[in-house]
Amino acid sequence: MTQKERFGKLFTENKLIMMRLILICAMLIPSVMMAQTKAKVVTKTPAGKTKTSTSSTTAGSTSKEKGKTIYQTYCLVCHQADGGGVPRMNPPFVKEWVGGDKSRLVRLLLKGSNGKVEIDGDKFSNTMPPQPTFTDQQIADVLTFVRSSFGFKASAITATEVKTIRAKTK
């Protein structure tokens, strides 16, 4: 085998390997892209202030799942990961409120609250901030999450219900 022949053989062999690598890459690209779009959708949800960003249901993401992301972004800091709150500052979630009247819950999120909530005679020094920029879907999602987490089993709240309550609240 001459030097030239050896080079030629090496080249064709490497070419085969290269082609295989390219093929594998080509096969991987769609799945990587899909994973990226999925991640984008998830991170976009809580910050999305426009109606369109959250009103459409993303495949594989339920109202409760989206609500969990919103909870982690906007509520966890005060009500804590287990919904237990912080003594004398932020109330723990209680069935009376969380599992109670939907209108009262939606109004609480839209208007916030300061000193109106009393649980077993306890008052809470912190202020629950209003979330007027939340879309109907975002309010529905986060309340649906809270109502079906932390041991609660209350019914879901829909964006349509929030819309009706919001219209009456203004």
Query: Which distant-in-sequence residues (6+ apart) come within 8 Å of 80 by Cβ?
Result: 86, 90
Does the footprint of ligand HEC cover residue 53 (CB under 6 A)? no
Does the footprint of ligand HEC cover residue 75 (CB under 6 A)? yes
**Encoding tokens for residue 98?**
């969380």
Shortest spacing between CB 126 and ligand HEC, in angstroms: 4
- Give the one residue of 58, 103, 113, 164 binding ligand HEC; rule: CB under 6 A: 113
**Number of residues located near ligand HEC, criterion CB under 6 A:** 28
- Give the one residue of 18, 28, 29, 77 binding ligand HEC; rule: CB under 6 A: 77
Residues 109, 143, 125: CA angle, nearest 5 degrees: 45
Does the footprint of ligand HEC cover residue 149 (CB under 6 A)? no
Tokens 């939606």 — which residue?
Answer: 106
Query: Which distant-in-sequence residues (6+ apart) come within 8 Å of 169 by Cβ?
Result: 106, 107, 110, 111
| Inter-residue contact 71 to 45 (CB < 8 Å) | no
Closer by beta carbon to ligand HEC, 13 or else 122:
122
| Inter-residue contact 97 to 104 (CB < 8 Å) | yes
Q: Which residues bind ligand HEC (CB under 6 A)?
A: 74-75, 77-79, 90-94, 97-98, 105, 108-109, 113-117, 124, 126-129, 131, 142, 146
